[in-house]
Amino acid sequence: MLEEVALWLQAAPGKTLVDGTLGGGGHSAELARRVAPAGKVLAIDIDPEAIEKARPAIEDLPVEVAIGSYTAIPKLLRHQQQVCVDGILLDLGLSSDQLADVERGFSFRSRGPLDLRFDRSRGEPAWKLLARLDEKNLADIIYRFGEERLSRRIARRLVAARHERPIRTADSLAQIVRSCVPRSRGHAIDPATRTFQALRIAVNQELASLEQALALLPDCLGPGGRLAIISFHSLEDRLVKHAFRADPRLQVLTRRPLQASADEIVQNPSARSAKLRVAERIAP
């Protein structure tokens, strides 16, 4: 949703924007081209590997990069001696590089470690989480963060399977989940999708980070500054929708979330679940 983001953030020469989820660098690069030459983009990502891979995309553009969570944007702006900015973007989806990295476990077909962390230098990988949680807590995570109605069946099967052999890889987890979740006729989504989503959210504490950011980021915007958030599942989208509506500092600009065009979905199938919401900072 490159064009939509640039338009709704009103990217124009001289503006200062923040990309809180650098990822592959596509959004940062496009925003930087539009704010150049006098403007700039401050880009941040929690994944050090993503930052290194994104550098060619933003080379020779007015982009300043930092490692960290988007919850650290206020601290980043203070460090930059920047009182406020004209716009902030959060794209909460996985990058294509993360999906392609067999050592991360984001792809169902990966035979590498079932890690699922955005920053592998901290926290607990998903395979360790699977190894230590009891059946009830595992089912609760899959139900709460994956909205999976068959969570108890899946948890029961995972606990039985790990007694026979530790679940260490993404493809082995996917096979186990598929064995107890029927694929809906005519439904393109893999039966393992919701379980992977739940474990990834739990490992990275994604919803807690998003809640924290929604509370902090409006104060980083100047009057008329805009906050744009792209979410990829209903848990994130509900958080954004309710936070935008309830925050007296913000005026909601998108009554309904914007979605990717048919052409974009053809080029990038993962965009089919993307939802963009935008709000504007009201003058104090």
pLDDT tens column, 2-16? 899 999 999 999 999
Quick check: 105 pLDDT over 70? yes
Across 159-171, average pLDDT: 94
Instruction: Name the nearest CA neighbour of 214 among 105, 90, 115.
Output: 90
pLDDT value at 122 more than 90: no
Tell me which residue of 211, 9, 55 sits closest to 18, measured CA to CA. 9
Select from 188, 204, 220 the last residue of a domain: 204
d(C-alpha 59, C-alpha 34), whole Å: 15
Question: CA–CA distance from 245 to each of 37, 70, 217, 225, 273 (Å)?
Answer: 35, 21, 15, 16, 22
Q: pLDDT tens digits for 36-68?
A: 999 999 999 998 888 999 999 999 999 999 999
DSSP letters along 259-276, please? E--HHHHHH-GGGGG-EE
- Name the pairing type of β-strands 63-67 and 40-45: parallel
Reported as a single tens digit per residue, the pLDDT across 224-240 is 999 999 999 999 999 99
- The kind and range of the H/E element at 176 are helix 170-180
- Tell me whether residue 97 is in a domain: no
Mean pLDDT of all residues in 202-222: 96
Regarding whether 253 and 129 lie in a shared domain, the answer is: no
The number of folded domains in the chain is 2
Within 13 Å and on the Cβ side, how many CA atoms surround 2?
A: 17
Q: Rounded CA gap, 38 and 237, in Å?
A: 34
| Domain of residue 143, residue span | 102-204
Domain endpoint, select from 186, 204, 222 = 204
Q: Are residues 64 and 115 in the same domain?
A: no
The length of the chain in residues reads: 284
